[in-house]
Amino acid sequence: MPIPHAKLFEQGTPHSPTTPVYVIGAGPAGLATAAALRTKGVRAVLLEKGATPGARWPEHYDSLRLHTTRALSGLPGLPIPRAYGRWVARDDVARYLVSYAEHHDLELVCGVEVDRIEREAAGDWTLHATGGRVLRSPTVVVATGRNHTPRLPDWPGRGGYTGELLHARDYRGAEPFAGRDVLVVGVGNTGADLAVDLARGGAARVRIAVRSAPHILPRTTLGWPAQRSGILLRRVPVRLADRLAARVTRLSSPDLGAYGIPRPASGLFSRAAQGSIPVQDTGFAKAVRERLVLPVPAVESFAGASVRLADGTEITPDAVIAATGYGRGLEPLVGHLDVLDERGAPRTHGAATLPQAPGLHFIGYTNPISGMLREISRDARRIAAALSAGRRGDTAS
């Protein structure tokens, strides 16, 4: 599938049909964008630092399944096969992404990492990539992924901890933790999944450190996926959506307050607007009620073999798994272009670009309650529509 590197330099004049749009990253967002552009007759070249499209997916934990339904997770132009089931497993997602690139016959170069993007006086973007490559185009789409750089809090005493400390990115399965006392830090979707996986996989004790109690929803209620509710209510005023969601939650989700995870005071959609989506329950609430997973206060510090919690208690787990999220890692690439907010996230996404950075698009950096893959597909089509219209205008002029 990789094309010869020389093909990267077969460029015409700016805005001509032979000048490609460079898409950085061949994960779901990059693949969707390249396919949507190809459908519109716009040439796109994918630059992927890994060995295959979707190279990061096989690196996720073994038990991972999409929390969004198969029907609402396919990328433009190729549904996910029905044989993969309603909740698609990690390995099937990886297979789908490879087949997606093949199906659309995408121009893909693997083993190339773009280190920095610069703006030229003439208006083009210059991409500095591995091997001394310098690539130019008036249009670049950045799709390196929301979960790019593992974020590990700088807890006091962390460096002297004598137990095992790892980020969730490095967790594959429960087998290495059988018979051990494990603390999972963070109760988002990944933390909840890992805690249940550990409890089912034979860990002697599983605790989960909770700083901010999440909203917890069943993945489905009477066959109706929570994702569809998110889609329906996304355009409803936030206060009204919060009230409706609160009623549904009271009816469908158990109150875990007695176990250490109270219902949040803020509304579900208010939290989602701040980037905190609800936990899709695939067994977590049951594991908590059965005391297979024990919620504890947040981690404050480490000291030797001990972990000090926010309530002052100290515990001595054999291993700590930090499900503490990721940074987007965009600062070295575009941090000098005034396109990132204070959190390091792009200040715009999809078809929109900033006045100081025309032609520079970002996709895949939001975490919508309606499903990331679904919104990636929508943004990819919008980018393709905008760029094809722009290039038709250039040709006419």
Query: Residue 194 corresponds to which tokens in the numbers above?
Result: 């890992």
pLDDT in tens, the chain (397 residues): 333 333 333 333 333 456 899 999 999 999 999 999 999 999 999 999 999 999 999 999 999 999 999 999 999 999 999 999 999 999 999 999 999 999 999 999 999 999 999 999 888 999 999 989 999 999 999 999 998 899 999 999 999 999 999 999 999 999 999 999 999 999 999 999 999 999 999 999 999 999 999 999 999 888 888 899 889 888 889 999 999 989 888 888 899 999 999 999 899 999 988 878 899 999 999 999 999 999 999 999 999 999 999 999 999 999 999 999 999 999 999 999 999 999 999 999 999 999 999 999 999 999 888 999 999 999 999 999 999 987 655 544 3
Long-range contacts of range 85-94, CB-CB < 8 Å, 24 or more positions apart? 87/219, 89/64, 89/65, 90/57, 90/58, 90/60, 90/61, 90/62, 90/63, 90/64, 90/65, 91/58, 93/54, 93/57, 93/66, 94/54, 94/57, 94/58
Compute the distance between CA of residue 339 and CA of residue 350 in angstroms, rounded to an integer.
13
Q: Which amino acid is at 71?
A: A
Compute the distance between CA of residue 285 and CA of residue 262 in angstroms, rounded to an integer.
12
Residues 191 and 80 sit within 8 Å (Cβ to Cβ): no
Kind and range of the H or E run holding 301:
strand 299-303
pLDDT score, position 392: 56
Q: Which amino acid is at 210?
A: V
pLDDT score, position 122: 82
Most distant pair of Cα atoms in the chain: their distance = 71
b/e per residue, 291-318, with b = 16+ CB within 10 A?
A: ebbbbbeebbebeeebbbbeeeeebebb
pLDDT score, position 18: 67
Give the 3-state secondary structure of residue 71: helix
Compute the distance between CA of residue 230 and CA of residue 368 in angstroms, rounded to an integer.
9
Give the 3-state secondary structure of residue 324: coil
pLDDT score, position 380: 98
Please report the domains of the chain, with CATH numbers, ordered by start residue: 5-148+328-396 (3.50.50.60), 151-322 (3.50.50.60)
Compute the distance between CA of residue 32 and CA of residue 150 in angstroms, rounded to an integer.
24
The pTM is what?
0.91
Q: Which amino acid is at 8?
A: L
Query: Residue 119 corresponds to which tokens in the numbers above?
Result: 């703006």
DSSP state of 75: B
pLDDT score, position 332: 96
Residue 73 φ/ψ, nearest 5 degrees: -120, -5
